[in-house]
Every structure is written in structure tokens, then in C-alpha cells.
Amino acid sequence: MKLTNDPAVTVTDALNTRITVRDFQDMPVPEETLRQILTTAQRSASGGNLQPWHVHVMTGEKLAGFKEDALAMAQAGHRDEPTHQAYPSPLWEPQRSWRYKLGEDMYGLIGIEKDNKMGRLMWLMQNIKFFDAPVGIIITGDKRLEMPQYMDIGIYTQSLMLLAREAGLHTAPQGWWRNWHTVCHKHLDIPEEDEVLVGMSMGYANTDAAVNKLYADRAPMEDVVKFYS
């Protein structure tokens, strides 16, 4: 798949051209475009129409200050207990192999060898800069939510990603911010009863970046779908 910032013209096109972009252009997203994406995303389905997501969108000086403080905290060795673990432990097959392959494919593209632990750590720290995207998003939800509402927030997150592609933008969903919720609560108007669930970088992809050539494999449909008649 050739990475492009051309707008997606169908849902199929949006899904097929969506990747996790980890290098963005230094180009702002028009406020009107951002507001349109967020307005339309409100049509996302949720059980009982609860709409359990709370969305905090940063650009400009606010985003710069947030990133500066987050980086300082990381350099000082601070890291929060995650609000939720990223994966079950131990992870089973075939999910374990899918995760391992994704990591090795990515590091192979950017030339960081397996034994270069510091290099891999430094690369992971790009998360804390929102991969230099002009838009940084933190999505929170009430701590009292149950699993079905987390699924609803996942649906909302997917809506944002597909709508971004329709607008010629790209995204990177980031579970990373579950480990750095202190800085989120410090800089954003997040009520005490809410917890950080996921972040997202959004902007125009750097189409020349090696890391953005990663088009992650997917299992064949037949491996995960059963038909009954």
C-alpha cells in the first residue's frame, strides 16, 4: 500500500489506507476540518446511546506545553501505574506472534537492531511527542464504566480514524497515555472520576518516513470468521 494524504472516498478506501502513522508533517490541521471530524464522530454507536467518551483535543501552544511537561516527567524517570494493562499476560498464540512480528517489522524499517535496547526505548519515546503530530487527543471515560462501554469507546475511536482518512489525514491510536495519566490530569480538564483510556495523534503523514512504510499484516478472513447457514 502506498501511503498518501489523499482523502479516502469510501469506507473501504479509508480502512485500506489507514495505518498507524508514526511520523507527521509540521502542518496544522484547519480547525474547521477538526471540528467536522469530531462532530460527525458523535454519530458513533453506543449501547443505550450512553456516549461514554470524553474527548480532550490539543493543538498549538497547549499541545506544546503538554508535550514539554510529559517529556520532562519521562526524563525524570516518572511513569504512572497504567489505568489498564495493554495486553493480557502471558499473551497466547496467535496474538503473541502477531504482536512480535509487528514490532520486528517496524524496527527493521527504521534500522534498530534487536539488541539495541536503548535505541528501541528512545524510539518508543516518540509516543510522548505525539509523533510530532499537530493534533494530540486524549480520550477518557468514567471509572465506573463496564466492558461494553469500553467497546463503545473503541467504536468511537475507529470513527475518528476513518473520518480522518476521509479528510486526508492520518492517525496513531496510543495506549501509551494510560501510563502517563498524571500529566493528562494536570494539563487537561479531566474530572477526578474519569480515567485515561487512549490517546491519538492526528495530522498529515510524512509520506517519505521509513516507519510509515509499515503496513501491518492481517489474518485471512477465513481464520477468524465462521459462516453458518
pLDDT digits (tens, 9 = 90+) for 18-43: 999 999 999 999 999 999 999 999 99
Q: What is the DSSP string of 45-112?
A: --GGG----EEEEE-HHHHHHHHHHHHHHHHTT--PPPSS-SS-SSPPTTHHHHHHHHHHHHHHHHT-
Q: Which of 8-17, 108-117, 130-139, 193-202 has the lowest mean pLDDT?
A: 108-117
* CA 15 – CA 12 distance, rounded (Å): 5
**Quick one: pLDDT at residue 136?**
98
Domain range 11-84+91-210, CATH architecture: 3-Layer(aba) Sandwich (3.40)
Domain-by-domain residue ranges, the chain? Answer: 11-84+91-210
pLDDT above 90: percentage of residues in the chain: 93
**Quick one: pLDDT at residue 165?**
98
Q: How confident is the model at residue 176 (pLDDT cuts 50, 70, 90)?
A: very high
* CA 89 – CA 138 distance, rounded (Å): 25
**Quick one: pLDDT at residue 121?**
86
Find how far residue 223's CA is from the centre of its chain: 26
Residues in CB range of 7: below 8 A, 6 or more apart:
165, 166, 167, 168
Q: Is the predicted pLDDT of residue 170 greater than 90, yes or no?
A: yes
